[in-house]
Amino acid sequence: MELFTTGNFLAILGASVAALAGCGSAIGIGYAGSAASGVLAEDPKKFGSTLILQALPGTQGIYGLLIAFIILNKIGFLSGGMADLTAVQGGYFLAAALPIGVVGIVSAIHQGKVCASGIMLISKKPEQIAKAMVYAAMVETYAVLALLISFLIINGIAI
């Protein structure tokens, strides 16, 4: 249990939690991908437009990576000279990672579902792709807000 009062461990745990947003992206892209293959069976020419929609839920994973990287960078983990953090400081980093870690997973899964139905939509009406993308971008808004909060917290932590 001593580990959980070590500041550096808590900070690294934070980076890992942030990177978990990738779980959501993987699930979301999976949903969209299986829908896309179904559409392609009918019309292989739609590869390009379905790929665009499939890629959309991938951003949450990137946001998670982004926060993880910023945390690791800030505590000096990447450059080798890791700062000595107090338990409180480490806890701050962990707390900072929670918004993107949690919201990222949920929003990516649901964005994946929206993208999958968007792919169904463009299989029937290819000219409606812009609207399908906007519906998907509506879900992503909340991942963007979470990313922002995570980022601002990290930015405010003094070490």
Partner 1 sequence: MSIVRMNKISAIGLGTVKAELISELMDLGIVEISSQDSKLTDPDWISYIERDGNENEVLKLDSKISKINTVIESLEKYDNSKSPIFKTRKIISSGEFEKTLSSKDKIEEKVEHIFRLIIELNDLITEENKITANIISLKPWVGYSIPIELGETNYTSIFIGVVPNILGVENLKSRIEEKSKNCVVNLIGSDKDQNYLSILCVKTEKEDVYEVLKQFGFNAVIFKDIEGTAADNIVQYEQEIKVISEKKSSVESEISTFVMNKGDIQLLYDYLLIERDKLKVLNSMLKTKKTFYVNGWIPERSKKSVESVLNKYECWYEFEEPQEGEEYPILLDNSSFVQPFESITELYSLPSSTNVDPTALMSIFYFIFFGLMLADVGYGLIMSIGCYVILKKFNIEGTTKKMFSMFFYCGISTMFWGVMFGSWFGDAITAIAKVMFHTDFVIKPIWINPIDEPMTLLIFSFIIGIIHLFIGMGVKAYIIVRDGHPWEALFDVGFWYGLIIGLALWLFGNSVIPGSAAVGRWMSIIFAIGLILTQGREKKNIFSKLLSGILSLYDITSYLSDVLSYSRLLALGLATGVISSVISVLGSLGGDGIFGSILLIVVLIFGHTFNIAINGLGSFVHAARLQYVEFFGKFYEGGGDMFNPLMKKTKYIKITKEVI
Query: Closest CB to partner 1 among 83 and 152?
Result: 152
What does the per-residue mask of binding to partner 1 show for 50-69, with x meaning CB under 8 A? --x--xx-xx--xx-xx--x
Give yes or no for residue 82 binding partner 1 (CB under 8 A).
no
Give the whole-angstrom CA distance, residue 30 versus residue 57: 9
Stretch of 15-23, 24-32, 86-94, 149-157 lying at the interface with partner 1 (CB under 8 A):
149-157
Among 137, 153, 157, 158, binds partner 1 (CB under 8 A): 137
In angstroms, how far is CA 98 from the centroid of its own chain?
A: 12
Give yes or no for residue 125 binding partner 1 (CB under 8 A).
no
Q: At what angle do helices 87-124 and 59-74 cross, to 10 degrees?
A: 160
